[in-house]
A and B are shown apart, each in its own frame.
Chain A
Amino acid sequence: MNKTSSLDQVERAVFRLSQNDGLYDILLGCLMSQMALAPLLSNRLGDFWSSAVFLPLWFGVMAAIWWLKRHVVAPRMGTVSYGPARKRKLAIFTWVMLILNLAVFILGLITAANVGRISGEQTSLLLGLMLLGFFSLGAYFMDVPRLYLYGLLLGLAPPVGEWLYQEHGFSHHGFPVTFGTAAVVMIVTGVVLFVRLMRQPPIEMDGEQFEDQHHE
Chain B
Amino acid sequence: MSDDGSVELHPLADINTIIHAPARLMVLTYLYVVESADYVFLIRLTGLSWGNLSTHMGKLEEAGYVAVHKEFRGRKPHTSISLTPQGREAFRAYKQRMQQMLDQLPD
Is there an interface contact between A74 and B54, defined as CB atoms closer than 8 Å? no
Q: Complex Cα distance A7/B95, Å?
A: 11
Is there an interface contact between A1 and B40, defined as CB atoms closer than 8 Å? no
Q: Would A17 and B77 be within 8 Å (CB), given that A80-B37, A81-B36 are in contact?
A: no
Q: Would A14 and B34 be within 8 Å (CB), given that A7-B29, A203-B50, A214-B58 are in contact?
A: yes
Is there an interface contact between A83 and B33, defined as CB atoms closer than 8 Å? yes
Q: Which of B2-10, B13-21, B41-49 participates in binding chain A?
A: B41-49
Kindly state the interface size class of chain B when it binds its partner.
Answer: 20 to 34
Partner of B44 from A1, A17, A82, A206 at Cβ < 8 Å: A17
Is there an interface contact between B68 and A214, defined as CB atoms closer than 8 Å? yes
A114 within 8 Å of B by Cβ? no
Q: Would A1 and B54 be within 8 Å (CB), given that A79-B40, A81-B35 are in contact?
A: no
Residue picked from A11, A203, A204, A215, most chain B C-beta under 10 Å = A203
For the complex, would chain B's binding face be called helix, strand, loop or mixed by DSSP majority?
Answer: helix
Q: Complex Cα distance A11/B75, Å?
A: 31
Q: Would A76 and B30 be within 8 Å (CB), given that A204-B76, A213-B68 are in contact?
A: no
B104 within 8 Å of A by Cβ? no
A75 within 8 Å of B by Cβ? yes
Chain B residues with Cβ below 8 Å from A7 are 29, 32-33
Is there an interface contact between A79 and B41, defined as CB atoms closer than 8 Å? yes
A84 within 8 Å of B by Cβ? yes
A209 within 8 Å of B by Cβ? yes
Q: Complex Cα distance A21/B69, Å?
A: 25
Partner of B77 from A77, A205, A216 at Cβ < 8 Å: A205
Residues 53-81 (chain B) with a chain A CB within 8 angstroms: 54-55, 57-58, 61, 68, 70, 76-77, 79-80
Is there an interface contact between A80 and B54, defined as CB atoms closer than 8 Å? no
Least CB distance, A66 to chain B, in whole angstroms: 14
The closest CB in chain A to the CB of B59 belongs to A214
The closest CB in chain A to the CB of B42 belongs to A78
Is there an interface contact between B58 and A82, defined as CB atoms closer than 8 Å? no
Is there an interface contact between A78 and B77, defined as CB atoms closer than 8 Å? no
Q: Which 6 A-B pairs have the closest CB atoms?
A: A78-B41, A78-B40, A210-B77, A11-B33, A81-B35, A80-B37
Chain B residues proximal to chain A, CB less than 8 Å? 29-30, 32-45, 50, 54-55, 57-58, 61, 68, 70, 76-77, 79-80, 82, 95, 98-99
- Known: A79-B37, A81-B34, A81-B35; 9 extra A-B contacts, CB below 8 A, are A10-B33, A78-B44, A79-B41, A80-B38, A81-B82, A83-B34, A86-B34, A210-B70, A214-B58
Q: What are 23 A-B residue pairs whose CB atoms fall within 8 Å in the complex?
A: A1-B95, A10-B33, A17-B44, A77-B44, A78-B39, A78-B41, A79-B37, A79-B38, A81-B80, A81-B82, A82-B35, A83-B35, A203-B50, A204-B76, A205-B79, A206-B77, A209-B50, A210-B77, A213-B57, A213-B79, A214-B54, A214-B61, A216-B58
